[in-house]
Structure 1
Amino acid sequence: MSSNYSRAQKPIYEPRHLKVICIGAGASGLLLSYKLQRSFEHFNLTIYEKNERVSGTWYENTYPGCGCDVPAHVYSFSFEPNPNWSSVYAGSKEIREYFSSFCEKYKLGKYIKLRHQVSQAVWDDKRGQWDVEVTNLADGTIIRDSCDILVNATGVLNAWRWPNIPGLQDFKGKRLHTAQWDSSVDLKGKHVGLIGNGSSAIQVLPAILPHVSKITTFIRTPTWICPDLAIESRSYSNEERQKFNEDPQALLEHRKQLEAGTNSSFSLFMNDSDVQRGAFENLSAMMKDKLQGSALQDILIPKWPVGCRRLTPGISYLESLTSERVDVVYGNIERITERGCVSSNGQEYPVDVLICATGFDTSYKPRFPIIGHKGQNLAEVWKDEPRSYFGIAAHDFPNYFMFLGPNSPVGNGAVLIGMEAQADYILNMINRWQTENIHSFSPKAAAVNDFIAFKDEFMKRTVWNHACSSWYKSNSVSGKVTALWPGSTLHYLEAMTEPRYEDWDFEYVGNRFAFFGNGFSQTESDETADLAYYVRMEDDAPYVSRVKQIRVTSRSGSVCRGDGGKQEHRQTKL
């Protein structure tokens, strides 16, 4: 009653105070704080970050050779170019500095509490708020906070895990995980065992080879490596970086060329496409060439389609495998002993140091209790299958959002622009909450069910559905594709352009139109506003139809394609 009465004295869409809690200060948490700060007033934001610094996975991952497997100018926010990337594929330190500088530039640190770990979040339906329990890691004290909107920005590749191999704790040598690297361990002259051949292992092996006496690498499955990308793994010259700093248009064109190249490759992931067949033949030939006709090609080159699991540049990896100081052991590790690893061939392989490049928990189950409507724990609800709405929300978990949740575009093209689309969608929903008398909202069960059904049917037409072990399928061989969006990244951007409010259940405080207020507009309440702002010389209003909107947004007519994916920009009037 009091809420409705206070609104009755205000103009339509008068914003109420908003309190947001965000979990995690990695790329998505920083993006949310930037966009919230840029567009909103009358809000309070607290970001709880468990680490000592911002940047999330790029703060945590410091293993030798760690870097991004997409070009750095693509792995940047669309609105925040960095003319000073040192190389096409930047290392983790440089990426960490990019996000740290972003935080400092926009003064986002005022929202962030470092060394604070969220341990529980419980929805209170009566109050329409989340009660959040936080541990101060500096002194162990418990903090209790609450918010109107809860955003989980902890990421998908964050919960690293040791391999489930008997005897792991028995190993007497030094044991390392790539996601918790101990830089004090000296590998010089050591015999190193390396478990895995995913992205981390592919980066680690050539990086440590010059320093160790020997590497025994344990490989359980084949994987596609893209060795020709080594040609593009060059450093940018001083002249190039100077030009990017002095000529923003040259930098923009370079960024757009790289981004367009990334976005032009989606047909690779469709079964039996011409691009897929060509990639299979070309990568097979290139891998055979790098492996120099050794027996390794029979065990390393997959029979399943290119892209079934994440395609990796693999700079110098294949060449390193043929080194005299590298032994490749193919098959499962049966157990780990005090001295080393016993393979499925029955042989024990002693090593001094054991590096586990064994990835992350990609089940999408939250790492702490998130208790939603009617006491449901999200980890329990998702124990068999994570079922999100468009990768950002879950049914019966009101006023709760996540970044890069299940079936987000994390392997479909450029990932940060997909993250930006999620941030904009979340803020559209927050805007409605703040300017209307909404109590809560969550996606309808029917909408989630239809989305999952469409996704499952679509995936049958993709290479991701084939029998390969992939984190896209929660590290299974034949499970459902739970990580990826059913379409390209550009497809995702268009799907997320505006919220489908009909897919959401809204609950209101009092009359749903109480936000109409005192009958006056925001314009009339602003003494500096033009009371005839809609009078103009020509119709310059945005187009109403989606098709024309997209043509304007995508600058239709400005690019000539049909030349193998390359783009030629031209000036045209839309």
Structure 2
Amino acid sequence: MADLLVPMQHRKPQLSDVQRRLNRPIHDEKHIRIICVGAGASGLLFAYKLQRSFKNFELQIYEKNEEVSGTWWENKYPGCACDVPAHNYTWSFEPKLDWSGVYASSGEIFNYFDTFSKKYNLRPYAKTRHQVVGATWNQAKGGYDVTIEDLTSGEKITDWCDILVNAGGILNAWRWPAIPGLDKYKGKLLHTANWDSSVNLTGKHVGLIGNGSSGIQVLPTIQPHARKVTTFIREPTWVSPVQGLEQHVYTPKELHDFASQSGKLLEYRKQIESGLNGQFSLFLNNTQTQNDTRAYMLEQMKQKLSDKFLEEKLIPNWSLGCRRLTPGVGYLESLTKENVSVVYGEIKEVTEKGCLCDDGNEYPIDVLICATGFDTSFKPRFPVVGPSGVNLQDTWAKEAQSYFGLAAAEIPNYLIFLGPNCPIGNGPVLSAIEAQADWMLQCIDRYQCNNIYSFSPKQEAIDDFIAFKNKFMEKTVWSEPCRSWYKANQADAPVTALWPGSTLHYIEALQELRWDDFNVKYNGNRFAWLGNGYSQTELDQTCDWAYYIREVDDGPLMSRGRKRELLTGHGTVDRSNMASVNFAGTESGSQSQSQAQAPPPPTANL
């Protein structure tokens, strides 16, 4: 036994952990403490999956907002909704029967995640109004010393964890535009991500900066109420509802059928998800899907704008999908209304009265709305300091390079939801988040059942991944010279936001933990997990001690290919006669909530 206690790493082993294992059966599960940053969609899913599969753990979620659900609690601006069909903006196992329409409002989505948290009793894990402001590796204990600010009292408190999970997301740090003079403006200044609902826009001359997803939502919602809207646009973008997935408000009969007819909603969800997953070729250069969909969108934009000046300024030359796709129900039509003016170009400065633009004109306005989005860099919002004293904020300041969007080199026991180069714009995003959570639980299971001190991806593994990713991106539309937050809001920069493949590709890549890509350090002898020679089974008086004796071979298939065929229902679907929909899935975000009378989304050809 003494030999087993000799440390293999440059630290004193936690003898209690090793000694306990030596007196316990194989794979003894040690007690672990986990801190999760953020109680948005990812944080809530992590809590659900952790409590479903694990027993010997503590979980503490720190959430800066006063409620859970993250971006869907924060964003309340007019028209805020989701650009993913609502029935597919749910967890795969947790459908919602009564979405009001194809594209749901932010309020409805908040209620979905809030209800999810209450149904599975996840709220006790979360401390709201508590913001993580720093995390430093504790060399003696392993794990992290975490500093948290109580936003109600202003008090700083400290906590510690074995494993730190960052579920803070991307769309959580809103920012004012970098335009000189914002502080000089005498009118009412608003940001879509910090909306003041007490402001009445009726009869006002409203200025709107931006034609990203938020701006595209806001305009058709405020246009009927404002006296005039001047929208300031500096770049073109592809905007048009997607054929087959236009906005549609579900009828009482449709809602009744979803609730009462067994399998109907499941079939509907599967058809939409298949459509989302079937269009990855849209993002590849010169494919038939790219060419056909671009031609369709071009014609749609021209029809809706019917204005040569707007067509010239707003329709891009670059490929569809280079910048994030936005369906934009009602947006293009709003640009042509009599009370809407489009100013194309740069705003040189904001004056006391309004915006001074590069055309030499000053545009006075009563209310200025900045639909200018978020800090979408992947740099952590708080210092994360590893064993070498290096802050991940500094390492990722210029370019964020992660392991599959999940972990960082030299930052042990640190896991990330929606990190760099994961599929946040490649297809259904919640499906990818589920895959990330499952992958993390594999790491946590291995950590808990072995005498592991720390684990982190090898730098050489990340270097290889980044090299593969960069080469792959050369054949995608994302590498074209359009300014996009996929590329740190630059036109010519590495693609740091997206996965080199489809969402289905990502899900399959994460199904198995590649432990050989990691640096693993142990407390004492790496085989201390073998314990006292007994299995867990034979010490459990309620177990079948001959569970492997059976009449037929019903064990799991051992090849990856056969396992995949079984899991995905190989041979059960015939797509030879199925029509294709001109659609590419986009990440969670926003879509104008419209009451447009469109036919129900077709289910037969998704």
Q: TM-score, normalization: structure 2? A: 0.93
8 Å Cα contact 2:88-2:269 kept in structure 1: yes
**Aligned: 1:265 with 2:279:** yes
Query: Partner of 2:377 in structure 1?
Result: 363
Distance in 2 (CA, whole Å) between partners of 1:388 and 1:461 is: 21
Choose which of 352, 373, 394 in structure 2 pairs with 1:380.
Answer: 394
Q: Partner letter of residue 169 of structure 1?
A: D
| CA 279–192 in structure 1, closer or farther in 2 if over 3 Å, else same | same
Measured after TM superposition, the shift of residue 564 of structure 1 is 2.8
Q: Which residue of structure 1 aligns with residue 421 of structure 2? A: 407
**Counterpart amino acid of 1:147?**
C
Range 518-527 or range 58-67, more displaced: 518-527
SS of the residue 2:87 aligns to: coil
The structure 2 residue matched to 1:555, chosen from 569, 581, 603, is 569
**What is residue 512 of structure 1 aligned with on the other side?**
526
How far residue 6 of structure 1 moved from its aligned partner, in angstroms, is 1.3
Displacement of 1:542: 1.5
Superposed displacement of residue 292, structure 1: 1.8
Superimposed CA distance per residue, residues 4-43 of structure 1 (whole angstroms, 9 cap, x where no aligned partner): 2211110001100010000000000000000000000110
Q: 2:580 aligns with which of 544, 557, 565?
A: 565
Match of 1:538 in 2: 552
Describe how 1:115-154 pairs up with structure 2 within 5 A.
115-154=129-168
Q: State the SS of the aligned residue for 2:574.
A: strand
Map residues 79-118 of structure 1 onto 2, 5 A cutoff.
79-118=93-132
Following superposition of structure 1 onto structure 2, how do residues 53-64 of structure 1 map, counting pairs within 5 Å? 53-64=67-78
Task: Give 2:478's aligned residue.
Answer: 464
Deviation at 1:307, TM superposition (A): 0.3
For residue 223 of structure 2, give the secondary structure of its aligned residue in structure 1. Answer: helix
| Pair 1:281 & 2:317 matched | no
RMSD (CA atoms): 1.3
**What is the rounded CA distance, in whole Å, between the counterparts of 2:316 and 2:349 in structure 1?**
26
Match of 1:352 in 2: 366
Question: Shift of the alpha carbon at 1:171?
Answer: 0.6
Shift of 1:436: 0.6
Does the CA contact (< 8 Å) of 2:102 and 2:245 recur in 1? no
Q: 2:23 corresponds to which residue?
A: 9
- Contact (CA 8 Å) 2:246, 2:329: kept in 1 or not? no
Q: Structure 2: 5+ residue runs without aligned partners?
A: 1-14, 582-601
The 8 Å contact of residues 230 and 315 in structure 1, kept in 2 or not, is answered as no
**1:572 aligns to what?**
none
Pair 1:202-2:216 in alignment: yes
* Contact 1:229/1:315 (<8 A) preserved: no
Work out the CA distance in 2 between the residues paired with 1:3 and 1:538.
41
**SS of 1:31's equivalent?**
helix
One-letter code of the match for 1:336? V
- Counterpart amino acid of 1:474? A
Any residues of structure 2 matched to 1:283-298 within 5 Å, and which? Answer: 283-298=297-312
For normalisation by structure 1, the TM-score amounts to: 0.98
1:334-367: CA deviation from partner (whole Å, max 9, x where unpaired): 1110000011111001100000001111111111
Aligned-pair CA distance for 1:539: 1.2
Question: 1:450 maps to which residue?
Answer: 464
1:243 Cα deviation from its structure 2 partner: 1.5
Q: 2:200 & 2:416 partners in 1: Cα distance?
A: 39
CA distance in 1, matches of 2:242, 2:39: 35
Q: 1:508 to 1:64 in 2, by over 3 A?
A: same
Deviation at 1:241, TM superposition (A): 1.2
Per-residue deviation at 1:294? 3.8
- What is residue 49 of structure 2 aligned with on the other side? 35
Distance 1:458 1:530 in 2: 50
User: 1:279-311: CA deviations, max 9, x gaps?
Assistant: 111111110000124421111111000000111
- The residue type equivalent to 1:534 in the other structure is Y
The one-character-per-residue Cα deviations of 1:457-477 (angstroms, maximum 9, x if unpaired) are 000000000011111111111
- What amino acid maps onto 1:64 in structure 2? P
Q: 2 CA distance for matches of 1:4 and 1:291?
A: 70
Q: Secondary structure at the match of 1:73?
A: helix
- SS of the equivalent of 1:96 reads helix
Q: d(CA) in 1 for partners of 2:453 and 2:34?
A: 15
Match of 1:250 in 2: 264
Structure-1 separation of matches of 2:603 and 2:29:
45
Residue ranges of structure 1 left out of the alignment (5+ in a row): 570-574
Q: Is the 8 A contact 1:227 1:287 kept in 2?
A: no
Q: Residue 596 of structure 2 corresponds to which residue in structure 1?
A: none
Give a deviation string over 1:170-216, Cα, whole Å, max 9, x none.
Answer: 11100000011000111110000000000000000000111100000
- Rounded to whole Å, the distance in 1 between the matches of 2:16 and 2:176 is 54
Structure 1 moving runs of 4+ over 4 Å: 228-231, 566-569
Q: Which of these residues, 158, 163, 171, is aligned with residue 172 of structure 2?
A: 158
Which of 1 and 2 has higher RCO (CA within 8 Å, sep 6+)? Answer: 2
Residue deviations 1:389-446, cap 9 Å, x none? 0001000000000100000100000000100000000010000111110000000000
1:21 matched residue in structure 2:
35
| Inter-partner Cα distance in structure 2 for 1:385 and 1:40 | 35
Structure 1 residue 250: Cα displacement: 0.5
Measure the CA separation in 1 of the matches of 2:403 and 2:16. 34
Contact kept? 1:560, 1:568, Cα under 8 Å? no
